[in-house]
Amino acid sequence: MLAPHRHKLLTPVASVSSWLVVRRSLDSNALSDRNVSFIKATLESAPRTPTTVLDLPSRLIYIRKAPETGDFALRLLLKSEVLEMYQSQGSTREIKYAALSYCWGSAEDARRQMKTTVSSFERLRIEMPFKELAAATRDAVEVCIALGISYLWVDALCIIQDNAEDWQRESTRMKAVYAGAYVTICAAFTKSCHESFIQIGRPFARLNFASSLRPSIRGTIYLEPSGGVQVDHGMNMNPWRTRGWTFQEGHMSRRMVVFGKSRVYAAIDGLWTDETGFSERLPPPFFSAMESMTELELRELWGRDVMGVLCERNFTVDSDRLPALSGLAELANTLLRDDYLAGCWRSHFLPQLMWSWGSNLPSDYGGGIFGAGLEELESHYGTPQNPPSYVASSWSWVRLRGIAREGLAGHAIRHFRQRYLSETATSRD
């Protein structure tokens, strides 16, 4: 039996819209004037701490559109060059830059993507050919032009990819890159850097309408699935949410423009608003959620949302697992003031060593972990997937690909953690 499906009425004809009292239609162009105005207004109304010159990334892509030809003139700038340009213009305004969060795709997709390397670095500082960029980067440039943003950060181009020292240094700064961006541009539904994310599909059913009371009022009505950000548009099951690096990028971004499957969203600290004005509050990013948390709540969050999610994410390079978590760990430690040990915290080390892989045992499994044999446990938990190269020590949950969960199993670990954390908090007092 099919579940009932709710719909919204949308129409592009003003008289029909006012007559039926329905929400405005979605534009076929994701970067229409109306959508750009919506994004700008939402971003400008959200409070934020301005980014200073000292907080800028080491490199940024400078974007300019030639007024006479309409062509894009791009080049890679060093931080010192951004400052020099800023001072020469006598500007007193904040330096705004956007950061792109996207999926690289397969190893072959990543190989074909234009990247900054040791050999291309100086050439890209002079000119970065727009037409040679991956589709996702070209789209991000288009978004920046539409929003009036002159600088863009893209990992493939702002980090020297074949220089291990540069990659190590810049990857540890990615927390600050996304936290300091005026906006993060999120390509949620593209699986590859070579796919365009601003070409959004609109799942409409089209109906012609004519009023029987006023025949002059006629037009086209579009029926669209309704039910919220998560239900209608699969925002919990998109390619962006399967990738490893995007976990930290999303949690460090307080302001995002998300290009979804069928519409555009402006997401500010967990409040998602689509281009028609529909809003829904979702769990806020780690960056803002932490501001109102106690130490105990943050430890719970780490065991539930960090350990429980990151191992499900896919990494093209397994050794990226710890670097992709380093920014969140650095942020968490501003509250925890603890020793960070490869995904675990020293003062909470015992419970976090008791991680398990796979899903929890079913609720009707009477023996629990204490009465189960190895074969029974593996049949429920699955077999861990060890990475082909070194990622972390064998005791760390970070090294496995699959689903890691803190604790013994289900209700047993929740009880143990509550008791352990309470005793730890009491001993500190």
- Tell me what pLDDT residue 3 has: 39
Mean pLDDT to the nearest integer, 126-131: 93
Checking if the pLDDT of 424 tops 60, the result is no
Task: Please tell me the least confidently modeled range out of 1-10, 158-167, 353-362.
Answer: 1-10
**Element at 257 (helix H, strand E):** strand 255-259
Checking if the pLDDT of 235 tops 60, the result is no
- Tell me what pLDDT residue 360 has: 42
User: Phi and psi of 292, rounded to 5°?
Assistant: -110, 15
Task: Please tell me the least confidently modeled range out of 299-313, 323-337, 354-368.
Answer: 354-368
Geometric angle at alpha carbon 42, from 39 and 44, rounded to 5°: 105
- Tell me what pLDDT residue 152 has: 97
Mean pLDDT to the nearest integer, 146-162: 95
- Closest by CA to 263, choosing from 223, 236, 237, 224, is 224
Q: Mean pLDDT of all residues in the chain?
A: 76
Here the tokens at position 179 are 């936290």
- Tell me what pLDDT residue 17 has: 61
CB 190 within 8 A of CB 242: no
Q: How confident is the model at residue 139 (pLDDT cuts 50, 70, 90)?
A: very high
Using one digit for the tens of pLDDT, what is the confidence trace for 35-78? 899 999 999 888 777 666 667 899 999 998 877 777 888 999 99
- Tell me what pLDDT residue 231 has: 41
Checking if the pLDDT of 316 tops 80, the result is no
CB 307 within 8 A of CB 406: yes
**428 or 335: which leads in pLDDT:** 335
Checking if the pLDDT of 25 tops 80, the result is no
Q: How many CA atoms lie within 13 A of 80 on its CB side?
A: 1
CB 39 within 8 A of CB 268: no
Tell me the three state secondary structure of residue 237: coil
User: Phi and psi of 72, rounded to 5°?
Assistant: -90, 135
Distances (CA, A) of 399 to 226, 330, 345, 390, 396: 40, 19, 16, 8, 6
**2 or 176: which leads in pLDDT:** 176
Torsion of CA 190, 191, 194, 196, to 10 degrees: -10
Distance, in Å, from the CA atom of 83 to the CA atom of 281, rounded to the nearest integer, reads 37
- Tell me what pLDDT residue 48 has: 73
Task: Please tell me the least confidently modeled range out of 169-173, 281-285, 395-399, 421-425.
Answer: 421-425
Task: Please tell me the least confidently modeled range out of 42-56, 338-352, 365-379.
Answer: 365-379
Pairing of strands 97-101, 151-153: parallel
Mean pLDDT to the nearest integer, 86-108: 82
Distance, in Å, from the CA atom of 49 to the CA atom of 99, rounded to the nearest integer, reads 16
CB 316 within 8 A of CB 107: yes
Task: Please tell me the least confidently modeled range out of 29-43, 92-106, 117-131, 285-299.
Answer: 285-299
On the 0-12 / 13-18 / 19+ scale of CB atoms within 10 A, 65 is middle
Distance, in Å, from the CA atom of 295 to the CA atom of 77, rounded to the nearest integer, reads 40
The two most distant CA atoms of the chain are separated, in Å, by 78
Distance, in Å, from the CA atom of 168 to the CA atom of 162, rounded to the nearest integer, reads 11
CB 267 within 8 A of CB 217: no
Query: What percentage of the chain carries pLDDT values higher than 90?
Result: 25
Using one digit for the tens of pLDDT, what is the confidence trace for 377-415? 455 445 555 667 777 887 787 877 665 555 544 334 444
